[in-house]
């Protein structure tokens, strides 16, 4: 048992502890729904030159961290529809935005665990001075800001991923699809529902952390001093002669 540790589950019944548990779960869902993602789109090329048509398929692979410009659409010089097609990659790179998003989510997950340890075992130390609540408030407010930035960045990055693997994005990077006797279609589309869910949980985390910042602020000396000042003004107003 760590020195000074006093197990007390009462904070879990209060917003301060309960919301930390909620933040822990939302952070897990945020990075878990996109961190291990993998999928692929299958592009069908229908070559209609002359009377002899042929069908060729290409695969556009996408997986975390979505460095699409390093993924092959056509590997090496390949003959497609009686034409030599040079090495072609997908377009776009969403690695920086999704890695930032996952990094914030993992750090938030770890901080929630640390905060819960303090709340449940060291609340007497936490409230003994103003340092603990003040630091907790600053970190909570910082995470709320980080959730806003990283969720917005990843939402934009996800749009890049969706466009790059759509028919319009494939056609813009594969010049063969603009030929009059070649028809390009996506015959198999990757399911990106979990990526959409990750964005939703990112903005949900923003709301939860903003709400929790208020409850942490109420534990700080700033709030207690403000409340004491308001009570003093109220007493003086009540004692004023009529």
| φ, ψ of residue 62 in degrees (nearest 5) | -140, 135
Contact criterion met (CB below 8 Å) for 198 and 151: no
Q: What is the pLDDT of residue 167?
A: 86
Q: What is the pLDDT of residue 2?
A: 58
* pLDDT greater at residue 229 or residue 26: 26
* pLDDT greater at residue 179 or residue 154: 154
Q: What is the pLDDT of residue 232?
A: 47
| pTM for this predicted structure | 0.83
Q: Which token pair is 100?
A: 């930032």
User: d(Cα 177, Cα 183) in Å, to the nearest integer?
Assistant: 6
Q: Does 45 have pLDDT greater than 90? A: no
Q: What is the pLDDT of residue 49?
A: 63
Q: Of 11, 18, 19, 66, nearest to 40 (Cα)?
A: 66
Q: What is the pLDDT of residue 222?
A: 62
Q: Does 30 have pLDDT greater than 50? A: yes
> What are the pLDDT digits (tens) for 112-131?
999 999 999 988 888 887 88
Q: What is the pLDDT of residue 227?
A: 46
Q: Does 102 have pLDDT greater than 90? A: yes
Q: What is the pLDDT of residue 212?
A: 93
Contact criterion met (CB below 8 Å) for 64 and 34: yes
Confidence of residue 225 (pLDDT cuts 50, 70, 90): low
Quick one: which H or E segment has residue 200? helix 193-217
Q: Does 107 have pLDDT greater than 90? A: yes
Above pLDDT 90, what percent of the chain? 42
Confidence of residue 140 (pLDDT cuts 50, 70, 90): very high
Q: What is the pLDDT of residue 233?
A: 52
Q: How many other C-beta atoms are found inside a 10 Å radius of the C-beta of residue 82?
A: 12
Write out the DSSP string of 108-142. Answer: HHHHHHHHHHHHHH-HHHHTTSSHHHHHHHHHHHH
Maximum Cα–Cα distance for the chain, whole Å? Answer: 104
Quote the distance between the C-alpha of residue 3 and its chain's center. Answer: 37
Q: What is the pLDDT of residue 1?
A: 47
How large is the average pLDDT for residues 7-12? 86
Average pLDDT, the chain: 85
Q: Does 71 have pLDDT greater than 70? A: yes
How large is the average pLDDT for residues 148-163? 95
Q: What is the pLDDT of residue 166?
A: 87
Half-sphere exposure of 94 (CA within 13 A, CB side): 30
């Amino acid at each position: 048992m760590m020195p000074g540790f006093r197990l007390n589950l009462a904070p879990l019944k209060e917003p301060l502890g309960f919301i930390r548990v909620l933040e822990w779960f939302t952070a897990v869902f945020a990075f878990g729904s996109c961190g291990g993602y993998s999928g692929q789109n299958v592009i069908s090329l229908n070559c209609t030159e002359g009377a002899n048509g042929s069908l060729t398929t290409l695969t556009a692979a996408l997986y975390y961290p979505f460095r699409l410009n390093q993924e092959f659409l056509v590997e090496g010089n390949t003959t497609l529809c009686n034409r030599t097609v040079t090495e072609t990659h997908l377009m776009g790179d969403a690695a920086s935005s999704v890695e930032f998003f996952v990094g914030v989510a993992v750090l938030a997950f770890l901080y929630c665990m640390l905060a819960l340890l303090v709340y449940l075992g060291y609340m007497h130390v936490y409230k003994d001075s103003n340092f603990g609540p003040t630091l907790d408030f600053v970190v909570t407010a910082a995470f709320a800001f980080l959730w806003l930035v990283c969720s917005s960045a990843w939402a934009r990055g996800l749009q890049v991923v969706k466009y790059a693997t759509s028919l319009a994005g494939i056609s813009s990077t594969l010049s063969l699809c603009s030929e009059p006797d070649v028809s390009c279609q996506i015959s198999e589309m990757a399911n990106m529902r979990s990526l959409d869910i990750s964005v939703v949980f990112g903005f949900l985390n923003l709301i939860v952390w903003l709400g929790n910042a208020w409850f942490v602020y109420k534990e700080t000396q700033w709030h207690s001093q403000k409340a004491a000042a308001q009570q003093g003004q109220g007493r003086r107003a009540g004692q004023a002669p009529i």
